[in-house]
Structures are given as C-alpha cells and as structure tokens.
Amino acid sequence: MRSYKIAVLAGDGIGPEVTEQSLKVLTAAGRKFGFRLDIQEADFGGKAIDKFGLPLPESTLKICRESRAVLLGAVGGPKWDELPVEIRPEKGLLAIRKELGLYANLRPVSLPPSLSEISPLKPQLVEEGLNFIIVRELTGGLYFGQPRKRFEGPRGREAVDTLSYTEEEIRRIVTIAFQLAQQRRKKVTSVDKANVLESSRLWREITNEIAKAYPDVQLEHMYVDNCAMQLVRNPSQFDVIVTENMFGDILSDLAAMIGGSLGLLPSASLGTGRTSLYEPAHGSAPDIAGEGKANPIASILSAAMMLRFSCQEKEAAEAIEKAVEKVLNQGWKTADLAGKEEKYISTEEMGDKIAEAL
Ligand code: NAD
C-alpha cells in the first residue's frame, strides 16, 4: 500500500480541533483510495514553548525534515502574548518556513454559489461563486532585501528597505503559477508595478520568457493597484494570480475577505526541499477555542492540497474538495457561515459530514 510520512503540528487554540477533523477525512480518503498516512505528531507554537521554552524545538524540526509534508493547525494565543518577540509562537512560523526553504505560498479562494451570500461583495458579483488562486513569493522582495536600515541623514532620521529579486527567484515562482494554471482554467495574471519599479520590469521580462514554454496558458500582466480594484469589481475574471512578496501579502488578505470566511481558506507553502507545508489561512482563534464553533474546512482543504502536491494523490484530493462542496451545497454550516437566526453544526459534525460524503 502507498504510504506517506506526514508531520502533524496541531498547535494552539482551534488548531488541534480543526486538525483532528482533517485527520479523520484523510483517513477516510486513504481507505477509499488505497493509501495510508504515517503520522507523526510534534509540539509547535505555544504548546512547545510551555514544554521546551521555544516554539520550534529541534526535535519537531527533525520530524518535519524527515516527512514528505507538514500539516499545521495554528499557533498563538493570549497566554504567550507577553513573551519577548523571539520566543513567541508566531516566531515558530517564520522559523519553520525558513528552515524548510518555503518560497511559494498558494492560497486558493473558492466559494461555492450556495454560499455566495457570505461574501461581502454584491450578490451579482459572486452569484457563480469564486474560484481563483493567489501564488505569492515568500522569501524575497522588500521584506528581506538588503540594505535595510535606519540612520541619521543630513535631513534628520532616514530609513531604507530594499526591493530586490534575482532572476532565479522570479523564475521558480512564476513557473509554479504556469504549472498550476495548466491544471486549472489556463490563465495566469502576473501582478506587478512595472510602470514604476525596476524589479517589476525584470519580473515582467522573465514572466514573458517563461510563458513561451506554456503556449496553452493565457498570460496577462496587471498593475497591483488595478488588481486590488479588479478583485473587488470582478473577481471571477481570475484563475491564477502570481505576484511578489509584499503585493501578495496585501492581495491575499483582500482575497480572503471577499471569500467570506477565514474558516474556508486553505494554503500550501512549497519550497526548495522535499517537505512542503499545509495550513489553514486563519490563526488560532482563541475567542472560540474549545467551543466546537471552529470551521474545519480550511484545514480539510489544506489536507487535500497536501495530497495533491506532496503525495500525488490527485484523485483523493479532488474527492475531498467535492465532498466539502457537496456538504456546503446541502446547506450544512458551521457557526461562522450561519446567519444570526440560522442553525449550525459543530466542528466535529462538519468533519463527520465531509468524511461521510467521501
Ligand atoms: P484568527 O484568524 O485566529 O481569528 C480572526 C477571527 O476569525 C476570529 O474572530 C476567529 O474566531 C475567526 N476565525 C478564525 N478561524 C476560524 C475558523 N476556522 N472558524 C471560525 N472562525 C474562525 O486571527 P487573530 O484573532 O488575529 O489571531 C489569533 C491568534 O492567532 C494570535 O495569537 C495570532 O498571532 C495567531 N495567528 C496565527 C496564525 C497561524 O498560526 N498561521 C495566523 C494568524 C494569526
């Protein structure tokens, strides 16, 4: 039987609750499609701070490095908010991304037509649902470029950050976008600010070069300010959006909002090594932890992405995505999706329904 080694870092707050549902659905998928997961759980985030004094212990990192994929819940919470920044749970997130060399963040936004009313956009803009994916570069650009400093200049205090990209950094992320588009609706929107920024002009040049190898994929370039407008005005025009780190940071949060609920949004981070990381886009939601109110779908869809990208179990991934859509179309909702007077089901019940639908 095919077997895959997976590290599970359930983390804090609602992390363990939603991850438990993902494992339930993954087990059901394995039974149906003939594979098994060799799961190793490890401490991460606040839980690891309590035990070892730091958010990403060496033992956890070792388990991750030896695994094909990491399935992460969420970290953080008020208990650890007063700690120095270097040992806060969130520091573990940055550390694990760096240690695993994760440079591509994939954030699909999909909202079935049956749930279009939860999007803050006008009904006519989302009546056919939403289905696009943002591919964000994670390790370059303004957040990491050198020099980066504050200093005393002739006109007083000054600060500098540097937006730099190498050819290779652009090439590898844009290639991922084209490969993804080939499996989807075959359209890539490359987002830049090439009317102003030199790094964007290089981005555009390399993207055009890569496009030649994918004649079946339509490429369009869009300025980032226009893209922000278009996401709100006509989001269904997009299939795959690819962009640099800071633009992606901002656009992915905008996209998360138009998707209606954080509880529906999965993510994948792919890298240079063999281990990729999969996690819901939301945090540990301490305000609802332990109440059975968390929506497990973001985590379950992250697990589906894991099967697709890290285990090549494409059929099983699609089956999970279809099961989620079916359950939502049947009208089942967790608290975050339900209106004020509407009934809702618990985290565990949602997990059960999706596993059954499989
Ligand atoms: P959050 O994403 O945890 O919560 C924001 C709001 O969305 C809350 O009202 C919460 O109840 C709701 N929500 C989030 N996920 C939900 C789900 N699955 N189902 C239903 N409702 C959901 O963001 P926050 O409140 O800003 O942060 C809480 C903690 O999480 C902080 O310590 C923060 O640092 C941490 N955080 C962790 C990650 C991560 O682990 N990747 C990401 C963001 C924030």
- Is 81 catalytic? The answer is no
Q: Is 275 in the pocket of ligand 1 (CB under 6 A)?
A: no
Q: Which domain holds residue 283?
A: 1-109+265-358
Same domain assignment for residues 252 and 335: no
Q: In Å, how far are 24, 182, 206, 246, 272 from 175, measured between CA atoms? A: 33, 11, 10, 19, 13
CATH number for 276:
3.40.718.10
Residue 245 lies in a domain: yes
| Distance, CA of 40 to CA of 235 (rounded, Å) | 39
Cβ atoms < 10 Å from Cβ of 353 = 18
Please report, in tens digits, the pLDDT of each residue of the chain (358 residues total).
899 999 999 999 999 999 999 999 999 999 999 999 999 999 999 999 999 999 999 999 999 999 999 999 999 999 999 998 888 998 899 899 989 999 999 999 999 888 888 899 998 999 888 999 999 999 999 988 999 999 999 999 999 999 999 999 999 999 999 999 999 999 999 999 999 999 999 999 999 999 999 999 999 999 999 999 999 999 999 999 999 999 999 999 999 999 888 999 999 999 988 899 999 999 999 999 999 999 999 999 999 999 999 999 999 999 999 999 999 999 999 999 998 889 999 999 999 999 999 9
Residue 90 lies in a domain: yes
- Predicted TM-score (pTM) of the model is 0.93
Query: Could you say which DSSP state residue 64 is in?
Result: H
Contacts of 60 (CB under 8 A, 6+ apart): 7, 9, 42, 43, 44, 48
Task: Please count the structural domains in the chain.
Answer: 2
- Is 4 catalytic? The answer is no
Catalytic residue among 50, 81, 253, 287: 253
Atom of ligand 1 nearest to the CA of 287: 11
Same domain assignment for residues 254 and 125: yes
